Amino acid sequence: MEFLVASAIGTMTAGGVYLLLRLRTFPVILGLALLSYAVNVFLFSSGRLAIDMSPILSKYGEATYTDPLPQALVLTAIVISFGMTAVLVMISLGAFLESDTDRIDIDPTDTDEDAAK
């Protein structure tokens, strides 16, 4: 089970980094979303992969439990990443409507000296 989760995290991270390096805005947004999903799965799996265990300690001597802190962190991260994705979509939509393309143009001749002038 741990190998499957670790493979899923690695695959999502690799896909997210690949999409971040694209020269279009929509794949970059998808790459950021995929990276946030990978981080969420990583945080969730850091609370131990346990099945049928309660998230609280029992006073009856049951020593095994699932840590609820990673679950709370993942829930918070989901909300934050949804808001971040919505803002990025609106920014990229505005840039697309202004320039009629979603291509990210990086001028290789643009240097720091040009920006200072």
User: What's the pLDDT at 34?
Assistant: 94
Token couple for 91: 């920014």
For CA atoms 62, 55, 6, 73, the dihedral sign is: negative
CB 40 within 8 A of CB 77: yes
Q: What residues does each domain of the chain span?
A: 2-49+66-105
57-98 pLDDT tens trace: 667 666 676 777 888 888 999 999 999 999 999 998 998 888
pLDDT of residue 102: 82
Question: The CATH number of 2-49+66-105 is which of 3.30.930, 1.10.287, 1.10.150, 1.10.10?
Answer: 1.10.287
Res. 114: pLDDT tops 60: no
DSSP, residue by residue, 12-27: HHHHHHHHHTSSBHHH
